[in-house]
Amino acid sequence: MASEYRSEYRAESEYPAESEYRAAGAGVAVPDVSGADASGAERRARERRSRRYRLDMRWSPYAFVAPFFLFFAAFGLFPLLYTGWASLHRVELTAPGDMEWVGLRNFSRLLDDDFFWNALSNTVTIGLLSTVPQLLMALGIAHLLNYRLRGSMFFRVAALTPYATSVAAATLVFVLLFGRDYGMINWALGLAGFGHIDWQNGSFASQLAVSTIVIWRWTGYNALIYLAAMQSVPADLYESAALDGASRWQQFVHVTLPSLRPTILFTCVVSTIGAMQLFGEPLLFNGSAGASGGSDHQFQTLGLYLYEQGWVNLHLGRASAIAWTMFLILLLIGAVNWLVSRRLLKNEGAAS
């Protein structure tokens, strides 16, 4: 029953407005006809107005998206295309203008590139280690923040402060905290009777440490996004659900979560993209040792490998190919994500 309310709510809000617009346009045309007895000048003025109105109606959507796409073409599309072109060449950063056509070699060589596969698997592992707990925790925290609280403002602002810290500053602190011999975390582990963990060299340990930085910076941010969405769930949905005897947990599952779905989808997409492009944290976590991501490349992500190829090894062409591969992988994930959520929507539509 709760879902009934919801689908109604969605139907109202998600319906494309075009039909409404057409109706509105027709509505304007009506007085045009009925005003046949009005003076000629007045009619002409009205016609002009309505023509302008139709033009407005037709073209304003483009005008609205134009500023974004204008900047996008210059500062987004051009670099993207250039990078695509470069990926088909042998280009070195020492002479970016000097290109030698190699076809798809930069892509095909990735198949046997152990460093690429290693980076891909690290990216996925760190992505899961950081994204899943982060979003679940954020959901829980948002739910708690949604209660009426003393000092709620304090909690909300405090939850966002990690986000205000730059990656550089945050990673610097965490490198100190995760220090092998004198770091505070190992010190605390020592007090609790555990041995020291080599956070930088251990494969899983280092991935966990990098994930921790990500989780720390983003949980509060996502909690706030969820909170904002929770606040906009209409109270009557809860009321009617409660009238039907739904428990708090059932309300959470059947009212809160479905209402949050666009938001959850949104955060999932954004976090997945962020995880796929993870770069600053593993770079700086390695201190001075460059972009290798540890002696065994144990926390080298795709973003870091791309950086190493382009900015350390100076192979622009190879780096471009990695960038485009990352881009294509993300598109693939996006497509799967879209298909799945569409499927879910359909199923639920059938169920209700």
Partner 1 sequence: MSVTKSGTQVGRSAPVRVPWGRRGLGAGRHLHGGRWTYAVLIAFTALSLFPLLWTAVAASRTNTRLAQTPPPFWFGGNLLKNLEIAWTDANMGTALLNTTVVAGSVALGTVLFSTLAGFAFAKLRFRFKNLLLLLVIGTMMVPPQLSVVPLYMLVAELRWTDQLQAVILPGLVCAFGVFFMRQYLIQALPGELVEAARMDGAGSLRVIWHIVFPAARPAMAVLGMLTFVQSWNDFFWPIIALTQNGSPTVQVALTGLGRGYIPDQSVIMAGALLGTLPLLAAFVLFGKQIVGGIMQGAVKG
Partner 2 sequence: MRTTTRTRAVALAAVVTLGASALAGCAEDAEEPGASSGDGGGRTTLTVGVFGVFGLKEAGLYDEYMRQNPDVVIKQTSIERNENYYPQLLTHLGSGSGLADIQAVEVNNIAEVVATQSDKLVDLGKTPGVAESSYLDWKWRQGTAESGATVGLGTDVGPQGICYRKDLFKKAGLPTDREAVGKLWAGDWGKYLAAGRKFQEKAPEGKAFVDSAAGVMAAVTGSYAERYYDKDGEVVYKSNPRVKEAWNIASDFATSGLTAKLQQFQPTWDQGYANGTFATVSCPAWMLGYIKTKAGEQGKDQWDIAQAPKPSNWGGSFLVVPKAGKRTEEAAKLAAWLTAPEQQAKLFAEQGSFPSASAAYDLPAVADSKNAYFGDAPIGKIFAEAAEGAPVQVLGPKDLIIAQNLADVGMLQVDQKGKSPKEGWQAAVKAIDNALDQ
Judged by CB under 8 A, the chain residues 158 through 197 that form the site for partner 1 are: 158-170, 172-174, 176-177, 181-184, 187
- In the bound state with partner 2, the residue whose beta carbon lies nearer, of 231 and 295, is 295
DSSP string, 44-90: HHHHHHHHHHHHHHHHHHHHHHHHHHHHHIIIIIHHHHHHHHHTTEE
Query: Residue 319 CB: number of other CB atoms within 10 A?
Result: 25
Helix 114-145 × helix 203-231 angle, to 10°: 40
Residues 276-305 that bind partner 1 (CB under 8 A): 276-277, 279-280, 302-303
Residue 318 binding result from partner 2, partner 1, none, given CB thresholds of 5 to 8 Å by partner type: partner 2
Q: What is the DSSP letter of 232?
A: T
Q: Collect all residues with Cβ–Cβ distance below 8 Å to 93 and sequence separation of at least 6.
A: 310, 311, 314, 315, 316
State the Cα–Cα distance between residues 28 and 22, nearest whole angstrom.
10
Residue 2: which of 342, 328, 320, 234 has the closest Cα? Answer: 234
CB-nearer residue toward partner 1: 205 or 233 = 233
Nearest-approach distance from CB 164 to partner 2, in angstroms:
21
Q: Give 162-166's long-range contacts (Cβ < 8 A, gap of 24+).
A: 162/216, 162/217, 162/218, 162/219, 162/220, 162/221, 163/217, 163/218, 163/220, 163/221, 165/217
What's the closest the beta carbon of residue 312 comes to partner 2, in angstroms?
Answer: 7
Q: Among 42, 56, 98, 244, indicate the residue that binds partner 1 (CB under 8 A).
A: 56
Say how far apart CA 330 and CA 269 lie, in whole Å. 10
268 touches which of partner 2, partner 1, none (CB within 5 to 8 A by kind)? none
By CB under 8 A, the count of residues binding partner 1 is 125
Residues numbered 251 to 290 that lie near partner 2 (CB under 8 A) are: 287-290
Rounded least distance, CB 193 to partner 2, Å:
20
Q: Which does 32 bind (CB under 5 to 8 A by kind): partner 2, partner 1, none?
A: none
The DSSP secondary structure of 239-298, one letter per residue, reads HHHHHTT--HHHHIIIIIHHHHHHHHHHHHHHHHHHHHT--HHHHHHTTTSTTS-STT-T
Restricting to residues 100-139, name those near partner 1 by CB under 8 A: none
Residues 62-91 that bind partner 1 (CB under 8 A): 62-65, 67-69, 71-72, 74-76, 78-80, 82-83, 86
Among 54, 248, 342, 343, binds partner 1 (CB under 8 A): 248
Q: Does 181 bind partner 2 (CB under 8 A)?
A: yes
Which residues 289-348 are close enough to bind partner 2 by CB under 8 A?
289-292, 295-297, 308, 310-315, 317-318
Which region, judged by CB under 8 A, interacts with partner 2, from 176-184, 209-217, 218-226, 326-334? 176-184
Contact range with partner 1 by CB under 8 A, out of 24-32, 126-134, 197-205, 343-351: 24-32
Q: If contact means CB under 5 to 8 A according to the sort of partner, which of partner 2, partner 1, none does residue 14 touch?
A: partner 1
Q: Which two tokens stand for residue 287?
A: 């201190």
Q: Which does 94 bind (CB under 5 to 8 A by kind): partner 1, partner 2, none?
A: partner 2
Q: Which stretch binds partner 1 (CB under 8 A): 100-108, 114-122, 127-135, 321-329?
A: 321-329
Do 304 and 279 touch, CB atoms closer than 8 A? yes
Interacting stretch for partner 2, rule CB under 8 A, among 46-54, 193-201, 262-270, 319-327? 193-201
If 0-12 CB within 10 Å is exposed, 13-18 middle and 19+ buried, where does residue 299 land?
buried
